[in-house]
Amino acid sequence: MQGWVVPPPKTPEKSKEELRKEREEKVRWLIRHGYLRSERIKDAMLKVPREDFIPILYKDYAYLEVPLPLPGENATISCPHSYPLFYEPLGLDKGYKFLEVGLGSGYGTALAREVVGLEGLVVSIEIDPLTFEFAKENLNNAGYHDIVLIKGDGGLGYPRMSPYDRICITAACTEVPSPLMEQLKTDGKLIAPIIEYGIQNLVLFEREKKGIRKKIICEVLYVFLKGKYGVGGSAKWITKGF
Ligand SMILES: C[S@@+](CC[C@H](N)C(=O)[O-])C[C@H]1O[C@@H](n2cnc3c(N)ncnc32)[C@H](O)[C@@H]1O
C-alpha cells in the first residue's frame, strides 16, 4: 500500500454552505461505496462538520479522502471513510460505553458521541499534549461537554470507567495492549490496525466467554501507537506534498 499525499496548506476559501454540500455528497459516496450502512452513523456524519476539527490551513480539504496533519508529533485526522470503516464493524450504537485510544482532532470522538447518544458515554485518550489541547478546544467549540477526555497513554486504557462495550484504537500496534482487552466487556468488540510482517490490517476482536474471536477487515495505513505498548519510531506514511 502506498503512503498518502497531503495537499499544501492554504487560506480557506470555501463557505459553510459549500462545505455542507460537500459533506452531504461525501455521505452519499460512503453509502455508494459500501462503507456507511447504519442510520445512526450516517446521521452523525451528516451532523458533525468535519471542517470544525481541522487546522485552518487545511479546512478546504475537509472532505478529501486524505489524512490531514494536526498540531502534535505525527498526529493526523484520518480520512473520512475511516470512521464508518471502524464504527460499522464495531456495531457502534445507542447507549454504548465507548473508549477511543487516539483522540486526534476530536472528530471521531464527536461522531461516536452522536452515535451512542445521551444514554451512552465516550471516553477518549490522547498521548500528545498539543494534539490533546487542539481536540479539547474543537470539542468545546462544537458544544460537546460530556465526553471524558484524558491526556495520557491510551495503551493503559482508563480502568475507572471500564468495562467498555466498544473500544477503538486509531493508531497501529503489533498487538492489542493487554489492559485494553481486559477493560473490554464480555461480548464487547475492539477494533485496531495491527502490524504483521510490515503491513497493517484493520482487525476486529470480539471478546467471547471462551476466548477472543478475530476477523481481518482490510489493509490500512495508520500512524504508530506510542507509549508503553507502542511500536517505537514513526510510520513513513506521507510520501510527499504536492
Ligand atoms: C490517526 S490519529 C487519530 C485520528 C482521530 N480519530 C481523529 O478523528 O482525528 C492517531 C492518534 O493517536 C495518538 N496516539 C498514538 N499513540 C497513543 C497512545 N499510546 N495513547 C493515546 N493516543 C495515542 C496520536 O497522537 C494521534 O493523535
The DSSP output letter for 116 is H
Q: What is the pLDDT of residue 218?
A: 97
Q: Does position 242 have pLDDT exceeding 80, yes or no?
A: no
Measured by CA distance, the residue closest to atom 23 of ligand 1 is 102
Preceding omega of 67 cis (within 30 degrees of 0):
no
Q: What is the pLDDT of residue 4?
A: 78
Which long-range CB contacts under 8 A does 87-91 form with residues at least 24 apart? 87/41, 87/111, 87/112, 87/115, 87/168, 88/35, 88/36, 88/37, 88/38, 88/41, 89/189, 89/191, 89/204, 89/215, 89/217, 90/166, 90/168, 90/189, 90/191, 90/204, 91/166, 91/189
Q: What is the pLDDT of residues 120-166, one digit of tens each?
A: 999 999 999 999 999 999 999 999 999 999 999 999 999 999 999 99
Q: What is the pLDDT of residues 28-62, one digit of tens each?
A: 999 999 999 999 999 999 999 999 999 999 999 99
The alpha-helical segments, DSSP class H, found in 91-233 are 107-116, 129-141, 178-182
What is the H or E stretch that residue 203 is in?
Answer: strand 199-208
Atom of ligand 1 nearest to the CA of 77: 9
CATH 3.40.50.1820 fits domain 67-220: no
Ligand 1 site-directed mutation target among 68, 73, 76, most atoms within 8 Å of CB: 76
Cell numbers at 156, concatenated: 493503559
Q: What is the pLDDT of residue 18?
A: 98
Distance 224 CA to ligand 1 centre (A): 9
Q: What is the pLDDT of residues 177-212, one digit of tens each?
A: 999 999 999 999 999 999 999 999 999 999 999 999
Q: What is the pLDDT of residues 59-112, one digit of tens each?
A: 999 999 999 999 999 889 999 999 999 999 999 999 999 999 999 999 999 999
Measured by CA distance, the residue closest to atom 20 of ligand 1 is 154
Pick 238 or 82 by higher pLDDT.
82
154 in ligand 1 pocket by Cβ < 6 Å? yes
Q: What is the pLDDT of residue 2?
A: 52
Give the number of other Cβ atoms within 10 Å of residue 235's Cβ. Answer: 18
Q: Does position 235 have pLDDT exceeding 70, yes or no?
A: no
How many residues make up the chain in this entry? 242
Atom of ligand 1 nearest to the CA of 228: 19
88 in ligand 1 pocket by Cβ < 6 Å? no
Cell numbers at 1, concatenated: 500500500
98 in ligand 1 pocket by Cβ < 6 Å? no
Answer for the pair 100, 38: CB distance below 8 angstroms, yes or no. Answer: no
226 in ligand 1 pocket by Cβ < 6 Å? yes
The arithmetic mean of pLDDT across residues 212-224, rounded, is 96
Atom of ligand 1 nearest to the CA of 230: 19
Q: How confident is the model at residue 239 (pLDDT cuts 50, 70, 90)?
A: very low
Pick 236 or 62 by higher pLDDT.
62
Answer for the pair 46, 23: CB distance below 8 angstroms, yes or no. Answer: yes
* 82 included as an active-site residue: no
User: Which listed residue (78, 82, 105, 124) is catalytic?
Assistant: 78
CA dihedral of 175, 176, 182, 184, whole degrees rounded to 10: -150
72 in ligand 1 pocket by Cβ < 6 Å? yes
Give domain limits for the chain.
67-220
Against a cut of 0.75, is the pTM above it?
yes
